[in-house]
Copies of this chain bind each other. A is one copy, B any other.
């Protein structure tokens, strides 16, 4: 099937290209009769305006891009999925299309197939950056080129970038406070990689609570590098074999908690009686663990909406630089603590 251009439609309906452009853009200054005529031809030909040409001319694509990292061969998980879903809804409501692409802080420069290439080369108007690193070159780039973007997470390298993040210090604080308030004495806090700001902050919050509320009968320990389900499993297994055996485990990420659960059950221990498990994220799936996992709510919908609104403001020029929003976490009580 031939693919028609605006020119074809113009010829076929006996008007100028300018007029066709008017009708496809809903310009009111077209005689009803003319509009009909053109619309008819469009319907018959199946004409669709070429977005490449339109965007090139208008210098905007009306599409946003969200970058997610394929962490070391692993993929984004349920948390990212839920966040992305909310963002897509929000984008749609505001007349933007949103597309997801993978991009990694490390490989973007050389790799033409890293999704970041699309943004650098003008295929999107703005970006949501997940999984940024410290001194992330992509952030540097977007900043210097004045491309609208918002970070999901924290940026300590600049003052003028915008981000939305959970208050992770508070999240750590809450985690410690909650577990202690439930009478737990031997608490293991399992966090991801130490290089990520999020984990540093959670550790800080945990330490702060512990320091503020000393208890000689308590033992608490922070472990890093628990970066996926498998590690959550093996590290929990090790921990449960030690003495004293932890009676509570905080695990960074509800999804990874699956590994914790398995290790606990393999020792024939019960959750929460013998070992309490506290997660964070509040992904939907967590409500169906056995038992449903008590977790720290990241307020995924609020985070997503806030991030996109900041981005929209940058896009229409009404936003200021360096808008930073910290979302307050809260405990979602279920049955694992």
Interface residues of A (CB under 8 A from B): 1, 3, 46, 48-56, 61, 63, 65, 70, 75-78, 81-82, 84-85, 88, 91-92, 95-102, 111-113, 115, 117-118, 120-123, 144-146, 229-230, 233, 255, 258-259, 261-262, 265-266, 284-285, 287-290, 292
Contacts and interface: CB of A to CB of B under 8 A. Distances in A.
A285 B255 contact: yes
Q: How many copies of this chain sit in the oligomeric assembly?
A: 2
Given A46-B144, A50-B56, A229-B288, 11 more contacts: A48-B121, A51-B123, A52-B122, A76-B81, A77-B78, A81-B81, A88-B102, A92-B113, A229-B284, A233-B288, A262-B289
Given A122-B51, A123-B51, A262-B290, A99 B99 contact: yes
Nearest to A61: B52
Contact of A101 (B49, B100, B261): B100
Contacts of A77: 78, 81
Contact of A113 (B95, B233, B255): B95
A56 B49 CA distance: 12
A128 to B, nearest CB: 13
B81 A97 contact: no
B285 A229 contact: yes
A96 B111 CA distance: 11
A54 B121 CA distance: 10
Contact of A266 (B61, B102, B290): B290
Q: Which 8 A-B pairs have the closest CB atoms?
A: A51-B121, A262-B290, A92-B113, A100-B100, A52-B56, A75-B85, A265-B290, A99-B99
A120 B48 contact: yes
